[in-house]
Chains A and B, each alone.
Chain A
Amino acid sequence: MCTYLTDTLAVRGSAKGAEGWFAVSDASVYFDHPVHAAAEHTLNIDLRNPAAGPAARVAVELDPAAARRLAESILKVLDSAAGTLAAAAR
């Protein structure tokens, strides 16, 4: 199926693409057909800078279980860093 399921959000940071590092301003998260991964559907993430053109993009296509583990890992690391983040905010 073509799910069309797409979530978009603003982000701040940097990513390394085909032509080196660039600032990212937008992200798309979607569950749909991959371009490259050998699966019918994957959890896809695009980190983008539309102001720099369509090629300013870092893309990943992940197996759904792997995507969930990645999300949990991100949250675990952020939770562990909560003290540091709080100190930095003071």
Chain B
Amino acid sequence: MTDPRTEALQAEPVMIAGHGGDQIEAYLAQPLGDGLHGGVVVIHHMPGFDEGTKEITRRFAAHGYLAICPNLYWREAPGAASDDAAATARANGGVPDERLVGDVAGAAAALKALDSSNGRVGTIGYCSGGRQSFLAACSLPLDAAVDCYGAFIVGIPPEGMPLRVGPIVHLTEQLSCPLLGLFGSEDQFPSPEQVGELEQALRHHGKTYELHTFPGAGHAFFAADRPAYRPDAANEGWQRIWAFFGQHLAGT
């Protein structure tokens, strides 16, 4: 098998049609050169469409994937700095689930429309985006989905929380593709017990999945610019992601 990684890539902000046909900003990164590629929709974490998420998007392109990250806060804060946009979105109650699904559908369609697409698209999300990656995979026809420590797939959010997130484990039956879940044993949201409950639902419905819980890691262990970073868990996590997407998305 040839090495799909490439040093040459192109990355840029673009506009795409999101939920309801709304034009929203996205960050598109694609490998240059010949060949067809699988696509990855990167779902940003609650702090927003920031430098770290764009770096992750470029990383997928460097590994041979067409990658796009929709700015989920574009409607509330077009053109704003990512931290100001996140603050505005939080104050407004967060991203409604229906709108998230529409925006991911638009991002997936934008990837499939590229001449170099092989027709396969998956999702990956971090933190709140982990839950949203699972939600998208239960709502749209996808080829693979990765959930990195998404809270409230299982479990009721704390009382009085104004954000619009609720448990979605009841959607498991509709999961359209294989799921890779990456979690930390020290995390409380989701807790190891909640990850166990998710696994029970996946098994019950006969879904294809692999869930990994890394010892000594808590929430956000992939975030290299935060104290939560755990290099051992992050490095092994990336290996799991390359193997999983390599199996389900890569190829011509």
Contact = CB atoms under 8 A, between A and B. Distances in A.
Given A8-B162, A55-B81, A59-B83, A2 B219 contact: yes
B83 A35 contact: yes
A2 B76 contact: no
A2 B87 contact: no
B228 A32 contact: no
A48 B87 contact: yes
Assign chain A's interface to a size class.
20 to 34
B23 interface: no
Contacts of A1: 151, 187-189, 218-219
Contacts of A20: none
Given A30-B90, A40-B228, A54 B80 contact: yes
B127 A2 contact: yes
Given A4-B161, A54-B77, A39 B227 contact: yes
Interface string A2-14: 1111111000000
B96 interface: no
Contacts of B137: none
Contacts of B227: 38-40
B144 interface: no
Contacts of B152: 4
B4 interface: no
Nearest to A27: B91
B121 to A, nearest CB: 25
A5 B158 contact: yes
Contact of B189 (A2, A8, A46, A54): A2
B220 interface: yes
A31 B69 CA distance: 26
Nearest to A37: B227
Contacts of A35: 47, 83, 86
Interface of A: 1-8, 26, 28, 30, 32-33, 35, 38-40, 46, 48, 50, 53-55, 57, 59
19 contacts: A2-B128, A2-B219, A3-B189, A4-B128, A4-B161, A5-B158, A6-B91, A6-B162, A6-B163, A7-B162, A28-B91, A30-B90, A33-B127, A33-B220, A54-B76, A54-B84, A54-B88, A55-B80, A59-B87
Interface of B: 45-47, 76-77, 80-81, 83-88, 90-91, 94, 127-128, 151-152, 157-158, 160-163, 165, 187-189, 218-220, 226-228
